[in-house]
Structure 1
Amino acid sequence: MSPDISVVICAYTEDRWEDVLAAVASVRAQSLTALETLLVVDHNATLLDRLTREYRRTEDVRVLANAGPRGLSAGRNTGIAAARGAIIAFLDDDAVAERDWLRHFAEGFEDPRVLAVGGRTMPAWESGRRPVWFPEEFDWVVGCTYKGLPPGRVRVRNVLGGNAAFRRTAFDAAGGFATGIGRDGDKRPLGCEETEFCIRLTRARPDAVLLIDDRSVIHHRVPTARERFRYFRARTYAEGLSKALVAQSVGASKGLESERRYTTRVLPSGVGRGLRDAALGRPGGAGRAGAIVTGVLTAAGGYVLGSIRARRGGAAFSVLPVPSASSAVETGGPAEDARSTGGEGAAA
């Protein structure tokens, strides 16, 4: 018998209105029916009001206001607190899931040792195709599965939060996602909150198994602004800052365990392929090689600066318990009430 699965989607801007509707529709079209879809709105009263009206008569979709500080981590924690399922899956608000996405997740949880299952996230380039200079080894820059991850269903250190499912007991054991480390609307594109959580989880539960199953596929929209080299540099720099916070929390040996293999094996191979393509006159080869080198250097720079800030006490994040279900505000009443619960709040 398949477990009940709640799906959490966090939304923060009306600019993604059509994306959010498509994400919800893809969940409702799953071959394994979700128990519910929880739309958590991150401190945006107008969007909260609009989504409440959109799904007022839809029994399997609930709209909530983020009950914590601004940001993706607190939004997810709000969804976890309100969820009724034994499994809680997360989907990005600008992604659509393939029909068997949840079914493959559920298969992974047939093993009681498994506490998390991640999937494969494919880029949907707004321009219609991948920029010729953009290396597949850096698809994580746009929130997608990158070249270098092993194929099939394999055990991993951490899953990627925009396409993953967890047992509820994982949050009972390790608490919620850390605030102050992940995404916060349109601010600097930080990340790694799921990395920190997964490492914390396996410390709390050393017997836990975390998997990636590349049959659980979603398609993640990549807007034109994120196809530009300027964003590439900003995101790799922010990743370095985030990794410094993770290393501060869990130690560099664990916090950078997967990254060492990535930088010593995967990336040099990518540079070699790029240079070979350039020598053969293939478009984009030199650009991909250069982008890999730039990405490594900017991430390293962010890590160094983030480590200095962390040692000086100028950068930190908080791990809070998942809020109680009563604090996850559901906007089932009139729109005026929804607006009062979803007003702009202070940033974390």
Structure 2
Amino acid sequence: MPDHLPKDRAGLPEGERALQEAWRAKYAPEVKELIVRREVPSPKLTLIIISYKAKDYLIECLQHARGQTAALDVPFEILLADSGGIEHLRPRSAPLVDVELRLTDGIPLNAARNAAIAWARGEYVAFIDDDGLIAPTFVEVVCRVFQDPRIAAMRGRIIPKEHPYFCTLAGHYDRGDDMIDDVLATEGHMAIRRGIYLETGGFPDQFYGAEGVYLVYRIARALPDMRVVYVPELLMRHDYFDSWENFIRKTRKYRGIRREVGALEPDPEFLRYLDAYLARRKPQRPRTAEQTVALGLLKAVRWGILRLPAWAVGQP
């Protein structure tokens, strides 16, 4: 259990404070150490980066998080949740973060996210993939969109970092140029009111996929007058896959995700909600001829990978 807790933000509602205490009690066994490197008084926003066995890309991610245009106007904190395997990066990451939460090695991603939320202090919280590069206006856009009290959460637009053709498989990355109602299908590039995240239960700890759809389903049931939106100005550069090895691993891991989610959360109403989302999930922006060809080739390769035995593609 951490022995140094930063002060709660000013004006923390009592309901959120009670939920915070319950969440901290629940996830305390997963916290090995909490290090406050710089305490930001009453942060408006907490940027959360979950990292496990990261490489140098984590440093670039943190540099983009630190270099925000709103830095002089909006108090925000950067919370790095360390799930293990990034010890070699700590000398360079330490100056770029405000709070380090060192967790049980290899803790499931969503459990790590929930633990981080328990110790985040912002009125708003955002999750950022540790290999994603947010735009310098990220904090500015989040705070502007949340000025509308009807908006519970938002997800942003993702554009390729270095591998545009791999990204053709991610039709949900770019939903066009207009703000529309959507689900949190980019869990590593989203923002939400912290109180709402706590109130609706957050991401299920054991989910691997569809956790953003599940959270929006819970928000819609508990707070039907609130909106979850896609915000095109909220930009991040990220590659859906960055290598053929990564492509093979994730292709096999995502296989049967609908069945696995159904086993973890058999609520038929949620499963209908998930199926409806999957049926309508189509890219908003027309593809170029090159992108269409790349997509066809990648789908063919994926079809073959899913039909090969695990040993043939070097997977356990």
* Structure 1 stretches of at least 4 aligned residues deviating more than 6 Å after TM superposition: 293-299
Q: Which amino acid aligns with 1:145?
A: Y
User: In the alignment, what sits opposite 1:10?
Assistant: 50
The one-letter amino acid paired with 2:121 is R
Give the Cα–Cα distance (whole angstroms) in 2 for the partners of residues 64 and 83 of structure 1.
Answer: 10
Residue equivalent to 1:21: 59
Q: Say yes or no: does 1:209 pair with 2:250.
A: no
Q: Deviations over 1:87-140 (max 9, x none)?
A: 001100001111111211111101111110111111223xxx534xx572x216
Specify every segment of 5 or more residues in structure 1 that has no aligned partner in the other structure, as ranges.
183-190, 278-282, 302-348
Pairwise CA distance, 1:232: 6.7
Aligned twin of 1:170: 196
Alpha carbons of structure 1 residues 40 and 9: separation in structure 2 relative to 1, 3 Å: same
Describe the SS at the equivalent of 2:161. Answer: strand
Residue in 1 that maps onto 2:173: 145
Aligned partner of 2:310 in structure 1 is: none
Could you tell me the TM-score, scaled by structure 2's length?
0.69
- 2:77 match: 36
CA offsets per residue over residues 155-189 of structure 1, 9 Å max, x none? 1133421100110111232123111112xxxxxxx
Structure 2 residue aligned with 1:315: none
Secondary structure of the 2:217 match is helix
- 1:321 aligned residue: none
Instruction: State the secondary structure of the residue aligned to 1:257.
Output: helix
* 1:175-218 deviation digits (Å, cap 9, x = unpaired): 23111112xxxxxxxx2222212211221212221111011111
Gap change, CA 1:167 and 1:218, over 3 Å in 2: same
Aligned to 2:14: none
Matched ranges for 1:93-242 at <5 A: 93-125=130-162, 129-131=163-165, 136=168, 138-139=169-170, 145-146=173-174, 149-182=175-208, 191-221=209-239, 222-225=241-244, 228=247, 230-231=248-249, 233-234=251-252, 236-242=254-260
Alignment length (residue pairs) = 260
1:156 maps to a residue whose letter is: D
Instruction: Decide whether aligned partners of structure 1 residues 66 and 104 sit closer, same or farther in structure 2, where only a CA change above 3 A counts.
Output: same
Q: Compute the displacement of 1:233 (Å).
A: 3.9
The match for 1:322 is none
**Residue 255 of structure 1 aligns with which residue?**
274
- Name which structure has the greater RCO, CA cutoff 8 Å, separation 6+: 1
User: Aligned with 2:158: secondary structure?
Assistant: strand
Unaligned residue ranges in structure 2 (runs of 5+)? 1-41, 308-316
Q: CA RMSD in A?
A: 3.5
1:305 corresponds in structure 2 to: none
- Correspondences of 1:303-314 after superposition (within 5 Å): none
Task: Describe how 1:274-293 pairs up with structure 2 within 5 A.
Answer: 288-289=295-296, 291-292=298-299
